[in-house]
């Protein structure tokens, strides 16, 4: 994988969404065809032999690469969304963010006990939203759950990987 290509195309937005934050904008990776190919190819190599049957993308940036990867793996794609966005019956999981409570949901018929699930999102910082998605998927009792990000931030004070069980495989294409 060309980490240099991805890093070169990753946009940093200072002071977004609040002063002092260096926002990692992955939309610049999505708009570049070569970056998309590199990301999907690398993720395919990581997961091609894991028996993945469903890729769950976390709203909304997790939908982009998650859906492309699902196609490449021959797996289904499941959207994990904010409340009120999915039209049929759902299961929900709430979690705390630095500025309040949030909730995500998945259709009740999206995952079953025979599935092997890959959860995908763009960025791991504190791990709150992905841990909620992980807990939500666990309610369906799939055979296994893997967790993946495009970017893992390892700056002081952020230890998102620590929120997952020690036996959960967590990977990231880039560590910053």
Instruction: Indicate which residue of 11, 37, 59, 61 is catalytic.
Output: 61
Is there a catalytic annotation at residue 98?
yes
The DSSP output letter for 81 is B
- Which residue carries 């190819």 as its tokens? 41
Six-digit token string for 39 = 């990301």
Six-digit token string for 29 = 């990776």
pLDDT (average), residues 108-129: 96
Give the Cβ contact number of residue 68 at 10 Å.
21
φ/ψ of 76, rounded to 5, equals -80, 165
Please tell me the CATH code under which domain 50-175 is placed.
3.40.50.2020
Residue 13 predicted with pLDDT over 60: yes
Per-residue pLDDT tens over the stretch 49-73: 999 999 999 999 999 999 999 999 9
Instruction: Indicate which residue of 4, 89, 98, 156 is catalytic.
Output: 98
Per-residue pLDDT tens over the stretch 81-117: 999 999 999 999 999 876 789 999 999 999 999 999 9
pLDDT band with cut points at 50, 70 and 90 for residue 133: very high
- Which range is least confidently modeled, 88-97, 111-120, 140-149, 153-162? 153-162
Q: With the C-alpha atoms ordered 122, 81, 136, 143, is the resulting torsion angle positive or negative?
A: negative
pLDDT band with cut points at 50, 70 and 90 for residue 1: low
Is there a catalytic annotation at residue 37?
no
């Amino acid at each position: 994988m060309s980490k240099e290509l991805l890093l070169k195309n990753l946009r940093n937005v200072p002071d977004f969404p609040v002063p002092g934050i260096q926002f990692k904008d992955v939309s610049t990776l999505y708009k570049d065809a070569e970056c998309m190919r590199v990301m999907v190819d690398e993720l395919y190599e990581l997961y091609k032999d894991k028996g993945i049957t469903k890729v769950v993308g976390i709203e909304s940036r997790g939908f982009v690469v998650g859906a492309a990867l699902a196609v490449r793996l021959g797996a289904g794609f499941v959207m994990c969304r904010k409340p009120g966005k999915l039209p049929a019956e759902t299961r929900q999981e709430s979690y705390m963010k630095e500025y309040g409570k949030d909730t995500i949901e998945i259709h009740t018929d999206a995952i079953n006990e025979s599935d092997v699930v890959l959860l995908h999102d763009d960025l791991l910082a504190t791990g709150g939203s992905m841990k909620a998605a992980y807990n939500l998927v666990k309610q369906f009792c799939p055979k296994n759950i893997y967790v993946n990000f495009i970017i893992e931030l390892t700056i002081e004070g952020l230890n998102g990987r620590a929120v997952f069980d020690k036996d959960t495989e967590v990977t990231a294409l880039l560590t910053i």
